[in-house]
Amino acid sequence: MTRAHRAVLSLGANIGDAAATLRSARDHLAADADIEIVATSTLYTTAPIGGPEQPDFTNAVMVIATDLSPMGLLSVIHRIEDLHDRQRTQRWGPRTLDIDIVTFDDEVLDDQDLTVPHPRAYERAFVLIPWLEVDDAAVLPGHGKVIDLVKLIDDQAMTPAGVW
């Protein structure tokens, strides 16, 4: 089945068994009738950026095809985060699961609930490197080719943490 839209999602967790949580989130996304998983990156271990002292994250990127609108996709994501006891009490704090919409087609959206492309994706190795792994022609709208953006980030250590 051909889906109407293509989106890039960034997934991360650093509370509990983060890899198992990301696998569960992937399975919930795959089970949604309006979402088709196109590609998934390797899992990576990354140090937190900003925020309080906290454990390292496990991160990955997923490319999906969907018939949902950006807000419809955000609703599905919030439901999946809620299933994993996501708490939104501290900005950039530890979390059981965080799923961000990095891009949605080539749309530019600036809503109080959703900004696309993700406003900090261009400076986050944990988004760019896994994304480049699954799409070597990736372009971040408003910022350029992901392969060029990766060259600008050299201060964020990432360690491959296996497959899903």
The pair of three-digit structure tokens given for residue 103, joined into one six-digit string:
């891009």
Residues marked active site are found at 86, 95, 98, 100
Buried-state track 18-46, b at ≥16 Cβ within 10 A, e below 16: bbebbbbbbebbeebebbbbbebbbbbbb
What whole-number distance in Å separates Cα of residue 66 and Cα of residue 89? Answer: 30
Amino acid at 151: K
